[in-house]
Structure 1
Amino acid sequence: MGDWVLTKPETADQTDANEALVDFIGAGNFAPGDRLPPERELMVSLGLSRTALRKALDKLEHEGRIWRHVGKGTFIASQSGSARPGRLAEISGKVTPFQMMRARLSLEPAIAREAAINASEDAVNRIMAARDAAKDAPDWDTYEAKDDALHRTIAEATGNILLLELFDQLNQVRRAVAWESVVRTSQRPPRDHLSFAEHDRITAAIAARNPTEAHAAMREHLGSVSARLFGEI
């Protein structure tokens, strides 16, 4: 007979803690790659002890629903559960911001091209709404979240689950890469922020079902972002 390992049954209190964390994530509409608030904030928000919270986080990590990167935080894993959280954490510690932008330049223009070919009318409307939400963001943090949502909405519009999975995994690593601090000189993006016009061009190309223009527009947009960050593409 093989060896048996006896495990202590989960208490009702811990079950409640697990459910509270899951409910918090669901209510927050976190997308793959989003970072959860720090443990201290979660303890206050959920009314949990540090021990109960960490056990709940351990459970979700074991289930592949979150992944943790030491020194950077806890992130929502890909919805498919195939993102190999430990491997992504390892990769994010080795990838430079410049390499990350090069990876985006390789993948996202192709995603925009596929979106132009395959997007439904509903998908195009969602892209337009996401673009407008980014333009109306009241501050930089909100803008960055809405900009992220726009790019994911374009990936969703491809109708290709593999491309969406690749985007999600790339985005998860992007969230954890150690970027240098960006100095902001205003509370929110100015009305003439370059990305707004670039988003308009990408959206118009997808709505017009023009895959060549969509590819070029996305590549120009990411190249522009890269040039602002690094001074080169």
Structure 2
Amino acid sequence: MTETGAVLEAEQLVVGYGGAAVCGEVTAAVHSGQVLGVVGVNGAGKSTVLQTLAGRQPAISGEARIQGLLVDPDTVPFRRQVAAVFDDDLFFPSLSVAEHLLLVARGHSLPNPELRVAAELKFFGLDGRADAVPDALSSGQRRRLLLAAGFIRPASLLILDEPEQRLDPVMRDALARRIKGHAEAGGAAVLVTHDPGLLVETAGSCLVIKGEVELVEPGDGAAFIAGL
């Protein structure tokens, strides 16, 4: 693998469908306290990379590890390390907003789950909709519920696929602070985004996917933005 002691390690990872790669090999490491951005045009393979890292689809070749564990969503140790938010509104239709978050909080044995849920509801501006079911929410509110469910649970790695979608500018700024806070608390994150402000504000390095995959190191803001 690339390095030992990394939260995420990917070595010559090839992702795609039906044996056909959608982009070049991915080799990268993300340590505690770091956020890795992933940028590229639509269809470049960004979401496929994240889906593979989260274990939602198998790699074609190469491998990835989270906290030294091979990607395997069927194992409890792997699932405990990873919180992922994708663009799929998967909810229990009869559970309220608060009940969804309580389910996650209690499922991960968080202390004082009701207080944790109340904090997430306030942060994501959902405290006034705590008793609403998902179908009664706006598109932006459903997005905030997905993010709240991702952030409330403990995880060493956050995988976020365009988390800024359907968020207003104020909430995008709050999201940037939350991602940075996760890293400052010792976590790591991989972030796909088309938002230049969110990318520059949070990511210390970036994978630019343009057929081949280039790792852009910190300090090259122009290269970051060029990849969007």
Name the TM tier (shorter chain): under 0.3
TM-score by length of 1: 0.25
TM-score by length of 2: 0.25
- Which has more strand, going by share of residues? 2
Asked which structure has the greater CA Rg, the reply is 1
Structure with larger RCO (C-alpha < 8 A, sep 6+)? 2
